[in-house]
Chain A
Amino acid sequence: MSKGKTLTFVLMDPPFEASRTTTAMRAIDAALRRGVNCNVFAYEGAVMLPFRHQQPHPNPVHGRDAAEEDHPLPREWVAGLMAMAKERDAAFNWVNCGLCVDERGAGDAIDGVQRGTPADLWKMASTSDNTVVVATA
C-alpha cells in the first residue's frame, strides 16, 4: 500500500441518474493514478453502484446492438478502480452502507465491496487527508 496521501469520498447518487457519479468516479480514478489511497463510503442510492446484476443493453434508438452500444456499467468502473489501485500499490476500500443495502436489496455486490456503517465512514474520514462529499441534489 502506498504511504502517500489518503482521500475519502462519500457518494450518494444511484447509478444512471446523475453526472455527479461520473465526475466522482473520474476524481477517484485521477487520485488512484497518482498513487493516492482512496476510500469510498457509498450512502443511500450509491450502494447500487457496485451491484453485480447491472447489465448492458442494446439501444434501438441509437440503432446499435448491445456490443456496439458498449453501455458503461458503474459496477465495471468500481471493479476497474479496484484493479487499478492494486496495480498502483494504492489502497482502495469501497464500503457500502449496510442499512442502505438492505432497504434496496442490493446485497449482491461485486467482489471486494465491504459492508459497513457510518462509524466506518468516520474512521476513514478521521484517518484521511481530506474527504469529499458528493451528495444528491
Chain B
Amino acid sequence: MKHLNIVSSAYRATIEEQDDTVVWVTHCLRNAGADIDMLLCGAAVNYPAAGQQVAPVTIGGRTQKHGPDVHEQIRTFVGNGSKVMAVREDLDERGIDHRRLLQEVQVIDRKALPSLLKNYDRVWHW
C-alpha cells in the first residue's frame, strides 16, 4: 500500500517537541514497514532549505539549548526509497531559492498534484 503524508502546518510546537511531529511520525511509520512519501506544502516547504538555526530559548530561567532541526529530519528521511516533494508555488511565494533545498527533494508544480495523488492508496493531510 503506497502512502503519502502531506505536511502543511509548519513549525507546529517544534520547540516543545524538538522536532516536527508529523515528520517524526512519518519516520516511525516507515520504520514500521510503511511505503511512504512526504509532500511539503504551505510554510512546510521551508523544511528542506539549508541554513536554518534555532537559537537557545530561555523561559523563566530555563534555557533550552537543544533546538529542533527540521532540515536534518528531512535529510535523514529522504532516500531509502522514500520521496520528499515540495510545492513550487509555495516555495516561490515565500521567496525560497530552490538551490537552498536538499538536492533529493523534488519540486512539484501545484497543477501536477492531482496526477501525483493518484499514485497513492492513502493520502493523509496533516
Contact = CB atoms under 8 A, between A and B. Distances in A.
A126 B21 CA distance: 21
Nearest to A100: B21
Nearest to B3: A125
Interface in B55-78: none
B75 to A, nearest CB: 20
Given A44-B21, A122-B34, A126-B1, A133 B29 contact: no
A123 B31 CA distance: 12
B124 A10 contact: yes
A54 interface: no
Enumerate the 4 nearest inter-chain pairs by beta-carbon distance, A residue then B residue, closest first. A118-B28, A119-B32, A135-B126, A122-B32
B94 to A, nearest CB: 19
Contacts of A118: 25, 28-29, 32
A133 B124 contact: yes
Contacts, number: 40
Interface residues of A, number: 18
5 contacts: A44-B21, A118-B25, A122-B28, A130-B122, A135-B22
A44 B13 CA distance: 10
B9 interface: yes
A133 B85 CA distance: 20
Contacts of A131: 122, 124
Interface string B97-111: 000000000000000
Nearest to A125: B122
